[in-house]
Homo-oligomer: A and B are copies of this chain.
Amino acid sequence: MKKSIGAGTITFPTPTWVVGTYDDARKPNVMTIAWGGVCCSKPPCVNVCLRKATYTYDNIVNRKAFSVSVPSEAHVKAADYFGIASGRDTDKFADTGLTPVESDLVDAPYVGEFPVVLECRLLHTLEIDLHTLFVGEIVDVKADEDVLDENGKLDIRKAKPFSFDPAGRGYHAIGESIGQAFSIGKPA
C-alpha cells in the first residue's frame, strides 16, 4: 500500500544542465535547469523548461537558439551558482572565470570548460503555466576529446555528468552501470 505524498515535482533522476543564451546586447548568459530532457530522436531534440521571469526566457524567444552545456562533477559549484544568480544582475561567466564560446551553428554561447555541449535551434514553444517548455533541435553535439573513448564515443565515466534529486535537493554523481539497455531484460 503506497502513501500519498501529495502533488509535486517529486521524481528522479533529473538532469543538471546549463542553458546558454545571448541577450539583446549579445552578452552571454547561462542558467542551470533540472526541468528538461531529451524529447525526440528524429530530429534529435531536447527540451528545457524555464519560468518567464528568467533572463534566459527572453533570450531564447529573441535569438531562437540555445545551447545545453553538461557540467562535470568538478563544476558543481559553478553549475549551482548559475542557478542562483540572474544574468539580469551580473555576468555569470565573468563571476566564475568560465569561458563563453560562440557556437558556429546557432546564435548561442556554450561553456568552454564543460565537457559536452549541445547546440540547439528553437523548434517549438509550449506555454504550460509557471514554466514554458522550449524544444530545441540538436544541430550538433560537441565534446572534449578526453571524454571520448577509443572509438570516439562519449564515455559517461569520463564526462562525469551529475543528476539532481528534487526530493532531497542534492546533486548526485552517476554511479556504476547496472546493466545494458535492450539487453538485460531480454527474454531468455
A residues in contact (CB < 8 Å) with B: 2-15, 17, 34-47, 49, 51, 68, 70, 73, 76-85, 95, 101, 112, 116-118, 123-124, 126, 128-131, 133, 135, 137-145, 148, 152-156, 159, 161-187
Contacts and interface: CB of A to CB of B under 8 A. Distances in A.
Nearest to A174: B172
Given A40-B128, A187-B81, A156 B167 contact: yes
A31 B176 CA distance: 24
B3 A84 contact: no
A176 B163 CA distance: 10
A90 to B, nearest CB: 10
Nearest to A137: B7
B156 A46 contact: no
A80 to B, nearest CB: 3
Nearest to A173: B175
